[in-house]
Amino acid sequence: MRRTLPLFPLFLLLAACAPTRETGTNPGTPPGPDRPEIAFGWSFGECWGECQGELIVSSDGAVSYETSGWENEVYLWVTGTAHDATLDALEAAYDATDRDGLESVYGCPDCADGGREYLRFLDDLDPAGSDWEWGGPPIALEDLWDVLRPLADAMRACNDGEGYDQDRCDAAFVDGDGEDTDPDPSPPPPG
pLDDT above 90 covers a percentage of the chain that reads 59
The CATH number of whichever domain residue 115 belongs to comes to 3.30.1560
Contacts of residue 134, defined as CB under 8 A and 6 or more positions apart, other chains included, come to 42, 44, 109, 110, 114, 115, 116, 117, 190
* Residue 137 within any structural domain of the chain: yes
Per-residue pLDDT reduced to its tens digit, 112-169: 778 999 999 998 888 899 999 999 899 999 999 999 999 999 999 999 999 999 999 9
Q: Does 5 have pLDDT greater than 60? A: no
Q: Which residue has the higher pLDDT, 125 or 2?
A: 125
Of the candidates 151, 152, 132, 150, the residue with the CA atom closest to the CA atom of residue 141 = 132
Per-residue pLDDT reduced to its tens digit, 47-57: 888 999 999 99
* Residue 124 within any structural domain of the chain: yes
pLDDT above 70 covers a percentage of the chain that reads 72
* Residue 155 within any structural domain of the chain: yes
Pairwise CA distance, residues 56 & 175, whole Å = 27
Lowest mean pLDDT among 7-16, 44-53, 95-104: 7-16
* Residue 100 within any structural domain of the chain: yes
* Residue 131 within any structural domain of the chain: yes
Average pLDDT of the residues in 54-82: 94
Q: What is the pLDDT of residue 7?
A: 41
Domain with 145, as residue range(s), is 37-171
Count of the separate structural domains present in the chain: 1
pTM exceeds 0.85, yes or no = no
* Residue 6 within any structural domain of the chain: no
Q: What is the pLDDT of residue 19?
A: 39
Per-residue pLDDT reduced to its tens digit, 128-137: 999 999 998 9
